[in-house]
Structure 1
Amino acid sequence: MKEQRKGVLLGFIAYIFWGVIPIYWKLMPMVDPLDILCYRIVWSFLFMLIYIFVTKKWTLFLAEVKSVLKEKKKLFAIICAAILISLNWFTFIYTVSQGHVTQASLGYYMNPLVNVLLATLILKEKLSRSGLIACGLALTGVVLLTIQTGQLPLAPLIMAVTFSFYGLIKKGVSVSSYTGLTIETFVILPLALIYLIFFSKQGFMNYELSTNLLLVGAGVVTAIPLLLFAEAAKKISYIILGFIQYVGPTLMLLSALFIYHEPYSLEQFMAFGFIWLGIAVFTYGNIYTYRKEKRFVK
């Protein structure tokens, strides 16, 4: 029980981090979104090296790296994961920088439902009745948003799909969270450095001290919630984690409405309502199945 409480606490802290991170990116309006992405990669990699050194996990880290280099399929999977998470990060940063925090929250509301679809289509897991209804309701919400705006909510879909595929790859690659994140950032690191040094309009770290410190901090705010989440996932059930998952996008939506005063019409609320209802049905279905299986085990 003590471990479960610790897992719940770590999970909440991770998702609170992710929920307020748009506020962090908003502090750097003078930095181009692509520059922020590159700095995020560079400083995340350096932070992870410091973390591995301070926690004395260097020997284990090197052993896992050697294992990854020997297995070409595992290496290819991690490279794909690095590309997907980079695309996810850029889409998120760009969407927030353009003043669409509401759209960013929608992407992460949709994420668990996309997970269900991928599990059904790729892992060939059977889709439950509640899962089918939930996906139908979420799709209705997306269609309504498309009709209202006259265009497909592309950014939220990219965020949801890339993060779901990223999670799917991570699920199949047996390396520790710190090794995985370090290798992923290292894969994109050369491209990030080349862009920042040779192609960035502002030049490398050529900002005011406060902005430079925020850019360095981008590595910290990226790595910490990922590490906390990985630890939480080991200590609590998927059902509990599923509940906690909605803390992030809910905080994003609240900040969009009450801090940045983004427009939010009744039509948008109705479209989001279908997605929220889908989430409720999906969560209830998971709880029901979990309790049923628990009774069966007893």
Structure 2
Amino acid sequence: MSEAAKGVLAMMAACVIWGLSPIFYKLLSEVPPLEVLAHRTLWSLAVFGLVLAGQRRLRELPKALSGARALGLVFVAALMISANWFLFIYSVQVGRTVESALGYYIFPLVAVLIGAVVLGERLGAAQWVAVGLAAAAVTVLTVGLGVAPWISITLAVTFGIYGLLKRWVAAGPVVSVTAEVLLLAPLALGYLIWLGAGQGAFGHDIWLSLLLVLAGPMTAIPLILFSYAAKRAAMSTIGLVQYLNPTLQFATAVLILGEVITLWHAIAFPIIWLALAIYSWASLRRGPSPEPS
């Protein structure tokens, strides 16, 4: 099997884990989302630490955090991914996984818009059409439901900003995300200590305690698979395969978690799918983007 094929399989595996993860976090509905997030942060730090120790790369962590600029970038990136994780957990627990799926569908188009506004990247006509269709879908939901799909928008924007910040972080993906959870770990640990042994779920129920520990591997494994894929598969291929994640989230929400699709969702989702088809077609026509220097 070629290295490119291995990369595609790794990306597919990562997306399957991400796409089916609502089932996992639904099992933790008894635990407040902030508590789940705290455990997810600490246990993922343990997994990433073990991976880097096994690769003898722990020495790269101080380098990733050296200097005010590097430390600031990693800290803000940590806040963005932490907010994204929290909102995803919250959306699953309150029965709004469909909205989270919409957010991850919208994300590529938000990323394109961020690139145009912040980085001055020029967009083709097809890409502007895709962004316009995404805005139309959000408008349909806002008018139809009487409230903006704030979960979808916030998930897309936080992940878009996170991706932007990662462009400026010199460390590799596994090292940088380890640095991010390392910075968040004192906050997570402090919250759990403040919560106290009497109120926290960990240690009171074997099943819930095991699930909270497993939140670490559930976070770390797909990110490691993604890092593996990014080094081997073409970015255009990775971009197309990543749509498997929100597609599985959407299917999980409807077929397994029993969430209801409103008329307005039934109108908005096809608009988003059309936007993504146009965006993907335009991206493939332009060919792979040049590697950053």
TM over 0.5: yes
Structure 2 CA distance, aligned partners of 1:151 and 1:144?
A: 10
Deviation at 1:269, TM superposition (A): 1.1
Structure 1 CA distance, aligned partners of 2:201 and 2:191?
A: 9
Structure 2 CA distance, aligned partners of 1:267 and 1:185?
A: 37
The match for 1:56 is: 55
The match for 1:145 is: 141
Q: 3-state DSSP class of the match of 2:231?
A: helix
Structure 2 residue corresponding to 1:197, chosen from 193, 199, 214: 193
The match for 1:249 is: 246
- Count of residue correspondences: 289
Which has the larger helix fraction? 1
Structure 1 CA distance, aligned partners of 2:62 and 2:28?
A: 38
The match for 1:274 is: 271
The match for 2:224 is: 227
Q: Does 1:67 align with 2:63?
A: yes
Q: Does 1:127 align with 2:126?
A: no
The amino acid that maps onto 2:136 is T
The amino acid that maps onto 2:218 is V
List per-residue Cα deviations over 1:69-114 (Å, max 9, x = no partner). 4322111100011010000000110011001110110110001000
Q: Which moved more, 1:34-43 or 1:195-204?
A: 195-204
Runs of 4+ in 1 over 4 A off after TM superposition: none
Percent identity over the alignment?
38
The match for 2:88 is: 92
The amino acid that maps onto 2:55 is K
List per-residue Cα deviations over 1:142-193 (Å, max 9, x = no partner). 0000011101111111110001111111122121222112111111111111
Shift of the 56–68 alpha-carbon distance from structure 1 to 2, 3 Å rule, reads: closer
Deviation at 1:210, TM superposition (A): 1.1
Structure 2 CA distance, aligned partners of 1:255 and 1:65?
A: 37
Deviation at 1:34, TM superposition (A): 0.7
Q: Does 1:80 align with 2:79?
A: no
The match for 1:261 is: 258
Deviation at 1:36, TM superposition (A): 0.3
The amino acid that maps onto 1:18 is W
The amino acid that maps onto 1:7 is G
The match for 1:28 is: 28
The amino acid that maps onto 1:226 is L
Structure 1 CA distance, aligned partners of 2:85 and 2:61?
A: 24
Q: Which moved more, 1:134-143 or 1:44-53?
A: 44-53
TM-score (norm 1): 0.93
List per-residue Cα deviations over 1:35-87 (Å, max 9, x = no partner). 0000000101111112222x232xx331x233234322111100011010000
Contact 2:64 2:170 in 1 (8 A): no
Give me the CA root mean square deviation. 1.7
Structure 1 residue corresponding to 2:205, chosen from 201, 204, 208: 208
Gaps of 5+ in 2: none
Q: Does 1:41 align with 2:41?
A: yes
The match for 1:181 is: 177
Structure 1 CA distance, aligned partners of 2:102 and 2:42?
A: 28
Contact 1:197 1:203 in 2 (8 A): no
The amino acid that maps onto 2:267 is M
